[in-house]
Structure 1
Amino acid sequence: MVDETAVVEKFRELVRGEDGALIGLLPPFEESFLIPGTSTLVRTHFVAHDANGNPAVEQLAGAMADAAVDFCIPRTKIDRALAEYARTRSTAALVGLNEQARDLFVKSAGSGEGGELLLFLLLERVLERPQLISKMALKTSTEMHVHGSDGIHANLADDGVLDIYWGESKLYKSSSAAFKDCFESISPYLRADGVQSRKRDLLLVRDHLNVAQIELAAHLLEYFDESNPKTLKVRWNGVCLVGFDHDNYPNLAALDDAQHLALSTAVGRWHDTVGNRLKEFEIVGVNIDLFCIPMPDVAALRKRVLERMGAL
């Protein structure tokens, strides 16, 4: 008989990294906010400032680039490289993984893969939802983006429910375009009539599950076997990252009362936009975690991440 408690613990061990450094670079503004009449929780973050008063874009780009291997490379390959290091004390295999990850990214500063990478970090390190499949590893061309959702992560609860989290990221210059396109893209996976969209992604998960432990993988695969009652214990959710350019970029650590009020008013307008889009795309009742991250310059961040990886 399967020890469910042990399985849940093994699943939680899949989470990689800690949130401290990331949250230090992306401090939250005010408390998270549940959009009225919906199941969407919005977390608003801004890029931190350094001691000279400049947004820490370089440091954020570095943190994102450093996570490329975790994002792109399946755990089995990472484990083999670590075993090779333990046996030979040579880092050659580990360095090779970094090169593999770098080469998977589209060589364009306008690529949306930087947003997918940041979304991965937020899912793993803030929400502690481990990745179920590395879609980047399935790419057949470095000039193409992955198809479908931007990420698939999960959480295995103590009651045996497997929560699947479909991810979508949009880093645009315009906030209105970013919100609209984000919810339009993720809604096919979250609506009640989205069975086929979910099925396509879940078949990929079944065939390319990013779990190295054999027993844990076997247990998780039961949730994707249509002949198994465990399929009734799968619940779908969404996690979104919406980033956009914000003028007169605020330093959260140095706001006066008037600046805080003005920023709070702007955040309230974004909340209203989110509520309207959730209704438009008929996903008000689905659990969604939304990270809203205004940025000094979205295009500059995307470009710098690729440069830090050596991919541009």
Structure 2
Amino acid sequence: MEESNEGLEQLEADLVSLKDKVELSKYAAVAVSSQDPSLPTTTLMHVRLREDLANVQSLARYLWGRAANYALSRKRRLEFDEQIAELEPGDLSVSLLVAEATRDAFIEFTAKYPQRASEIGELLAYCIAIEQLGAAQLAAKMSLKTNNNMPVHGLDGIHAVVEDGWLTVYFLESKLNQTANGGAADFAESVADFASNKKQYKLEYSIVRDLGNFDTLNAKSREVALRHFDIMASPDEVPKRERYVGVVLYSDDKLFKSLPPVSKGQKPGFHERELAAAYAKQLDHHQQSALKHLTKQGADPNKCLVYFIVTPDIDELRKLFYDVMGYVPKVVKA
């Protein structure tokens, strides 16, 4: 057991070293989180305001700024680091290659089929897993695409952290929907599908072991990490628990339009505090919605965490994201 504890401590240090820096809270704030023992664990978040207006432009720009770290494997990112180190001062040519590689990892956006471009939700899930859960990304699944306009099947992301003597693995699922209830239903269905698909379950762990970010660790650290992510290992040797994280990005323009009008005497942050207070009243409704759908699908709400992120219009946020990326929407003929 002592050897196992040493291995877990080594893995904890390595996961910390693999964790990217994220400051999503500057652009999307937590309004309220549920308290135990209510289920599932539920958090309500909203796009932050610039005085009384939703600052979706800044959120879109920030997410694009995190896109390279999310979409490119750590090995590829370190290769770019080496190229940058060899440049003369002031030479920014490699930065263009980084941007190009990142854009190539994303699905081509088309105005006719915007629902196919759901990766903004995946980016939000990546940021939440790091900032809210302290969990490092184990594999950049977007970098595994074989076709530029085909999504990766399976989970949207896999993250992990060592805490309280456990290796906690988070399976991420992001959903974009016009309503919170619809997004909760989509998440519950995905959880049920994945939990019952043993082949996909094994495949996700294989991706982590064979194609994940552990290949940038030194030999000993990599050996320890791979041993802990061996799903055939004895549970007594590897104290591991798995959790499903749902990130539901949805629209509610009425919530933002219900804010008090701008007037003299309002202190900085007034409208955002008003928004958070009004939104927090929806916690029970959203939590019960998630519980209803998870129960209906036969999923265990004890193993689920749901993050609802509200914005005035998800299509506007998505378009702004692709605008920042530099994509021109492809015209699809009827």
In the TM superposition, residue 46 of structure 1 has moved relative to its aligned partner by 1.1
Aligned-partner residue type, residue 97 of structure 1: V
Shift of 1:69: 0.5
- Per-residue deviation at 1:244? 1.2
1:186 maps onto 2:191 in alignment? yes
Q: 1:248 to 1:285 in 2, by over 3 A?
A: closer
Q: In the alignment, is residue 15 of structure 1 matched against residue 32 of structure 2?
A: no
The match for 1:78 is: 77
The TM-score, its normalising length taken from structure 2, stands at 0.82
**d(CA) in 1 for partners of 2:248 and 2:276?**
21
Alpha-carbon shift at residue 240 of structure 1 (Å)? 1.1
Give, in whole Å, the separation in 1 of the partners of 2:19 and 2:231.
27
Whether the aligned pair in 1 keeps the contact of 2:136 and 2:160 (CA below 8 Å) is: yes
* 2:53 is equivalent to residue 54 of structure 1: yes
Q: Residue 108 of structure 2 aligns to a residue in which SS? A: coil
Structure 1 match to 2:304:
288
Give the equivalent residue in structure 2 for 1:254: 271
Letter in 2 for 1:204: I
Q: Decide whether the 8 Å contact of 1:166 with 1:186 is kept in 2.
A: no
What residue in structure 2 maps to residue 25 of structure 1? 27
Mark the CA change 1:223 to 1:56 in structure 2 (over 3 Å): closer, same or farther: same
Alignment equivalent of 2:205, drawn from 202, 206, 212 = 202
Deviation of residue 205 (structure 1)? Answer: 1.5
Amino acid at match of 2:50: D
Deviation at 1:184, TM superposition (A): 0.6
Q: Do the aligned partners of residues 261 and 129 (structure 1) sit closer, same or farther apart at CA in structure 2, a change above 3 Å counting? A: closer
1:135-158: per-residue Cα shift (whole Å, max 9, x none)?
A: 101101111111101111111236
Could you give the per-residue CA deviations for residues 156-206 of structure 1, whole angstroms, max 9, x where no partner exists? 2363x32211101111112222110111112333x4x55333112111212
| Structure 2 letter corresponding to 1:185 | S
Pairwise CA distance, 1:65: 0.5
Deviation track 1:79-109 (CA, whole Å, cap 9, x = no partner) reads: 1211222232444334312211111211224
Of 245, 270, 292, the match for 1:276? 292
Whole-angstrom distance in 1 between the partners of 2:120 and 2:277:
31
Q: Distance in 1 between matches of 2:175 and 2:145?
A: 20
- Shift in Å at residue 78 of structure 1? 0.9
State the distance in 1 between where 2:245 and 2:161 align: 13
Partner of residue 116 from structure 1, selected from 111, 122, 134: 122
Structure 2 CA distance, aligned partners of 1:134 and 1:255? 34
1:223 aligns with 2:223: no
Where do 5+ consecutive residues of structure 2 fail to align?
260-268, 329-334
> What residue is the counterpart of 1:141 in the other structure?
147
* Paired AA for residue 271 in structure 2: A
Aligned position for 1:88 = 87
Give the distance between the partners of 2:202 and 2:303, measured in 1 at CA. Answer: 19
Specify the alignment match of 1:306 in structure 2. Answer: 322
In structure 2, how many angstroms separate the alpha carbons of the residues matched to 1:194 and 1:36?
Answer: 29
Contact 1:188 1:197 in 2 (8 A): no
Deviates more, 1:98-107 or 1:86-95: 86-95
For the residue of structure 1 that corresponds to 2:255, the secondary structure is coil
1:285-310 Cα offsets, whole Å, 9 max, x none, are 54322111111000111111111111
Provide the rounded CA distance (Å) in 2 between the counterparts of 1:81 and 1:310. Answer: 21
1:256 Cα offset (Å)? 8.4
**Cα distance 1:58–1:219, how it changes in 2: closer, same or farther (>3 A)?**
same
Distance in 1 (alpha carbons) for counterparts of 2:138 and 2:121 = 18
The 8 Å contact of residues 162 and 168 in structure 2, kept in 1 or not, is answered as yes
The structure with the largest alpha-carbon Rg is 2
Counterpart code for 2:74: R
CA contact (8 A) 1:130 1:153 kept: yes
**Residues 175 and 244 of structure 1 are in contact (CA less than 8 Å); yes or no, is this contact kept in structure 2?**
yes
Q: Do the aligned residues in 1 keep the contact of 2:107 with 2:151 (CA within 8 Å)? A: yes
Q: Determine helix, strand or coil for the equivalent of 1:143.
A: coil
Name the CA shift for 1:242/1:43 in 2 (closer, same or farther; >3 Å).
same
SS in 2 for 1:28: strand
Change (3 A) 1:132 1:268: same
Pairwise CA distance, 1:216: 2.5
C-alpha contact (below 8 Å) 2:60/2:320 kept by paired residues: yes
Give TM-score scaled by structure 1 length. 0.87
Three-state SS of the structure 2 residue aligned to 1:229 is coil
Give the Cα separation in 2 of the matches to 1:306 and 1:57: 13
Contact 1:238/1:286 (<8 A) preserved: no
* Percent of paired sites with the same residue: 23
Amino acid in the other structure paired with 2:203? R
Q: How many residues align?
A: 303
